[in-house]
């Protein structure tokens, strides 16, 4: 029996045949196991969902009752059986609650990575390499040019700019789930104690993280603040808001974005990012290769990003690899 005999790609998503359930399905299904709560992985409307408590909590915070009629909370390494298929979740280190999905069936083990990174992140549990026969990996930054700098270096860049321009508002574009809270936490760890101002779209999930015990310090709504109050302050907003009229309320702002994509100079220029911060929640090229080695997988399927180079590299390393062309909505990040 091969892995392709029991793990199939259907229009809804990755389907586990003998257990009759989907991984991160893009369309509503009766039974879904969800790796993490980014909207390209976690869609509303599934009948029953299995995921970590944090992932289900975030889905409920975002989708309300549409999140799922039947939530099933799985802690790390707590097994759930779907007929002959055993499912367990292991930390993926990507955002709060993010999991790799371990599938055991008939003596074979497959691991679906979801999105992951190896760089330590104070807002979520660290990635654990899981030995397996098949590793289904993401490849968002699957090109040799992608080598992410240490996060501390990027945070220092931001702090330096705040010192250098004490009267300019620093407006940084961040994704609502994960990046926003990680950036705040990394700043707090350096001793930055000033209030941080949030666009309305970021408040909900910051409250959720705080309620989970992740200390974010004093956060204030940006819309309620007077112009003068925002001089020299740090404002966080979704990237789209900084491209729109929302940013016009700020006086002479320093505009920046925090994303792994900021390594691509052209992208930083396109977004008019005066202060590009390379802060990625995905594995870079060396960490993708290191992870594949550490799983000791005999076979690799690549999804979700730049597949070709990673497949070529696996083949050179003697590991059979192929793309898993996923039909999925546009990535949230
Ligand atoms: Zn993600
Ligand atoms: Zn993703």
Least confident of 20-24, 154-158, 303-307, 323-327: 323-327
Q: What is the whole-number distance in angstroms between the Cα of residue 318 and the centre of ligand 2?
A: 27
Taking residues 233-248, report their average pLDDT.
89
Kindly state the average pLDDT of the residues 90-99.
Answer: 98
CATH fold of 3-145+282-323 reads Metallo-beta-lactamase; Chain A (3.60.15)
Q: How much distance in Å is there from the Cα of 165 to the middle of ligand 1?
A: 33
pLDDT band at 331 (very low <50, low <70, confident <90, very high): low
Structure tokens at 300: 């690799």
Please state, rounded to an integer, the average pLDDT across all residues of the chain: 95
pLDDT at residue number 269:
86
3-state secondary structure (DSSP) of residue 24: coil
Condensed to tens digits (0 to 9), the pLDDT of residues 191-224 reads 999 999 999 999 999 999 999 999 999 999 998 8
| Mean pLDDT along residues 273-279 | 95
Q: How confident is the model at residue 267 (pLDDT cuts 50, 70, 90)?
A: confident
pLDDT for residue 329 is more than 70: no
C-alpha of residue 277 to centroid of ligand 1, in Å: 18
Compute CA 8 distance to the chain's CA centroid, rounded to the nearest angstrom.
Answer: 24
Q: How far is the CA of 164 from the centre of ligand 1 (A)?
A: 34
Q: Is the pTM of this model over 0.85?
A: yes
Ligand nearest to the CA of 326: 2
The pLDDT assigned to 244 comes to 77
- In the beta sheet, which residues pair with residue 15? 8, 22
Q: Tell me if 192 sits within 8 A of 159, measured CB to CB.
A: yes
Residue closest to 34 by CA, chosen among 17, 53, 20, 19 = 53
**Res 37: pLDDT:** 98
The two three-digit tokens of residue 291, written as one number:
């992870």
Q: What are the tens digits of pLDDT across the range 160-190?
A: 999 999 999 999 999 999 999 999 999 999 9
> Which H/E stretch holds residue 163?
helix 151-164
Between CA 147 and CA 53 the distance in angstroms is 32
How far does residue 25's CA lie from ligand 1's centre (Å)? 14
pLDDT at 250: 86
Cβ(257)–Cβ(274) below 8 Å: no
Ligand of minimum distance to the alpha carbon of 117: 1
Given a cut of 60, whether residue 327 has pLDDT beyond it is no
C-alpha 128 to ligand 1 mean position (Å): 17
> Ligand 1: distance of its center to the CA of 38 in Å?
5
Q: Please give the distance, rounded to the nearest whole angstrom, from the Cα atom of residue 302 to the centre of ligand 1.
A: 15
pLDDT band at 330 (very low <50, low <70, confident <90, very high): low
**At residue 328, does pLDDT exceed 60?**
no
Q: Hunting for tokens 């809270």 — which residue is that?
A: 181
The topology (CATH level 3) of 151-277 is Rossmann fold (3.40.50)
- The tokens describing 260, both together, are 């792994």
All structural domains of the chain with their residue ranges: 3-145+282-323, 151-277
In the chain, pLDDT over 70 holds for what percent of residues?
Answer: 98
Distance (angstroms) between ligand 1 centre and the Cα of 326 equals 15
């Amino acid at each position: 029996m091969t892995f392709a005999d029991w793990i199939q790609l259907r229009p809804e998503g990755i389907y586990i045949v003998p257990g009759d359930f989907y991984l991160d399905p893009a369309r509503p299904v009766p039974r879904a196991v969800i790796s993490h709560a980014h909207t390209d992985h976690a869609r509303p409307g599934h009948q029953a969902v299995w995921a970590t408590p944090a992932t289900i909590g975030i889905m409920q915070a975002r989708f309300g009752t549409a999140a799922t009629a039947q939530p099933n909370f799985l802690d790390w390494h707590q097994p759930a059986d779907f007929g002959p298929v055993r499912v367990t979740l292991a930390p993926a280190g990507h955002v709060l609650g993010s999991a790799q999905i371990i599938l055991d069936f008939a003596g074979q083990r497959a691991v679906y990575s979801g999105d992951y990174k190896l760089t330590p992140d104070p807002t979520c549990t660290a990635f654990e390499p899981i030995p397996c026969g098949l590793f289904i990996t993401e490849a968002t930054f699957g090109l040799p040019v992608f080598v992410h700098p240490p996060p501390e270096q990027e945070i220092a860049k931001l702090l330096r700019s705040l010192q250098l321009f004490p009267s300019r508002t620093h407006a940084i574009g961040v994704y609502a789930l994960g990046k926003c809270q990680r950036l705040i936490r990394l700043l707090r760890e350096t001793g930055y104690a000033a209030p941080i101002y949030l666009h309305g779209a970021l408040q909900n999930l910051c409250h959720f993280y705080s309620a989970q015990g992740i200390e974010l310090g004093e956060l204030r709504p940006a819309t309620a603040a007077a112009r003068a109050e925002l001089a020299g302050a740090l404002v966080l907003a979704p990237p789209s808001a900084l491209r729109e009229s929302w940013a016009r309320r700020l006086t002479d702002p320093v505009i920046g974005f925090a994303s792994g994509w900021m390594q691509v100079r052209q992208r930083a220029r396109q977004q008019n990012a005066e202060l590009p911060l390379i802060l990625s929640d995905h594995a870079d090229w060396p960490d993708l290769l290191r992870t594949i080695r550490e799983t000791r997988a005999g076979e690799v399927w690549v999804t979700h990003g730049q597949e070709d180079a990673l497949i070529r590299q696996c083949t050179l390393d003697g590991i059979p690899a192929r793309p898993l062309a996923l039909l999925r909505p546009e990535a949230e990040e």
